[in-house]
Amino acid sequence: MGFQRTKFFSFFLIFFLVVLLMMMIQIPLSGKEIINLPQIEQNDNDLISAIISRKAERQFSGEPIPMEDLAKVLWAGCGIKRTQVDSISHATRTIPSAMGIYPIGVYVFSLRVNDLSPGIYLYLPEKHALQEISGEDVTETLSKITNQRVVQNASLVFVIAFHLEKSSRMNEKFAYLEAGEVVQNISLMAVDCGLGSYVIGSYRPDRIIEVLNQENIEPIVLMAVGKPLP
In angstroms, the CA 230 to CA 225 distance is 15
| Beta-carbon contacts of residue 198 (< 8 Å; ≥ 6 apart) | 56, 57, 58, 223, 224
What is the rounded CA–CA span in Å between residue 138 and residue 207? 13
Shortest distance (Å) from residue 158 CB to ligand FMN: 13
52 binds ligand FMN (CB under 6 A): no
d(CA 93, CA 3): 75
Output the smallest distance, CB 204 to ligand FMN, in A. Answer: 12
Q: In terms of CB distance, is 157 or 212 closer to ligand FMN?
A: 157
Assess 199 for contact with ligand FMN (CB under 6 A).
Answer: yes
Closer CB to ligand FMN, residue 110 or residue 197?
197
**Among the listed residues 7, 11, 18, 55, the single contact to ligand FMN using CB under 6 A:** 55
Query: Shortest gap between Cβ of 117 and ligand FMN (angstroms)?
Result: 27
- If one asks whether residue 201 binds ligand FMN (CB under 6 A), the answer comes out as yes
Strands of the sheet containing 217-226, edge to edge, are 129-134, 119-124, 104-110, 156-163, 217-226, 196-200
- Orientation of helix 205-212 relative to helix 138-146, angle to 10°: 150
Q: How many residues sit close enough to ligand FMN to count as binding (CB under 6 A)? A: 9
> Which of residues 119 and 180 has its CB atom nearest to ligand FMN in the complex?
180
**Residue number with CB closer to ligand FMN (130 or 224):** 224
d(CA 109, CA 225): 10
Nearest residue (beta carbon) to ligand FMN: 201
> What are the residues binding ligand FMN (CB under 6 A)?
55-56, 58, 198-202, 221
